[in-house]
Chain A
Amino acid sequence: GNSVTQMEGPVTLSEEAFLTINCTYTATGYPSLFWYVQYPGEGLQLLLKATKADDKGSNKGFEATYRKETTSFHLEKGSVQVSDSAVYFCALSDPWYTGGFKTIFGAGTRLFVKA
């Protein structure tokens, strides 16, 4: 079945450091790929997405490229800020699976950014 594997956390970085959070997936068909972010005490919100191979999603300085050959969707940011401290979830959605849709989430990676 479909699954998402992302690097375990927590990840601790200093402000202005480079961030990479690895994500790989297993899926049949042609899923869409997402990164969601969860700030403390809040629900998940979409950070970025890519709907087909080689698409690059980007938002708020974060980027991720849909790599079908390596089944990966790694999240990157060139210079993190303290306000980026949150939990990041990689996810996939196979929209027409069994006539509906299911979003499959990774376990989440907690990021701490120190000033």
Chain B
Amino acid sequence: NAGVTQTPKFQVLKTGQSMTLQCAQDMNHEYMSWYRQDPGMGLRLIHYSVGAGITDQGEVPNGYNVSRSTTEDFPLRLLSAAPSQTSVYFCASSPRQSHTEAFFGQGTRLTVV
């Protein structure tokens, strides 16, 4: 049971570099989202998608892009990495039905130097 798979698990970037965090789910969930986790701040929503071809911004979208070309994949792109983007990133998915929980990946620890 793969569930939600994130790659890579760890990444170090230099300021200004770009990269893509990958997220894939095999549960045929319609909803997918990206969060960042910072000490003392819980999880903050970056972007989310309610289905293939549909994305929307969360509470901290600046500096990140997403796309949803398939139900399975929801990559997060950092256009020009900044030290403020050092964080742990989590991808989550959920079925469309109401009152259901989110399923999380293992996380990507990103350090921008």
| Contact present for B105 and A107 (CB under 8 Å) | no
| Contact present for B90 and A49 (CB under 8 Å) | no
If A100-B50, A102-B58 touch, does A43 touch B104 (CB 8 Å cutoff)?
yes
If A99-B50, A101-B31, A101-B94 touch, does A49 touch B101 (CB 8 Å cutoff)?
yes
| Contact present for B102 and A107 (CB under 8 Å) | no
| Contact present for B45 and A102 (CB under 8 Å) | yes
Q: Mark A7-32, 1 if CB is under 8 A from B, else 0.
A: 00000000000000000000000001
Count residues of A near B (Cβ-Cβ below 8 Å). 25
Count residues of B near A (Cβ-Cβ below 8 Å). 26
| Contact present for B90 and A42 (CB under 8 Å) | no
Question: What is the CA–CA distance of A34 and B99 in the complex, to the nearest angstrom?
Answer: 10
| Contact present for A107 and B31 (CB under 8 Å) | no
Question: What is the CA–CA distance of A36 and B90 in the complex, to the nearest angstrom?
Answer: 14
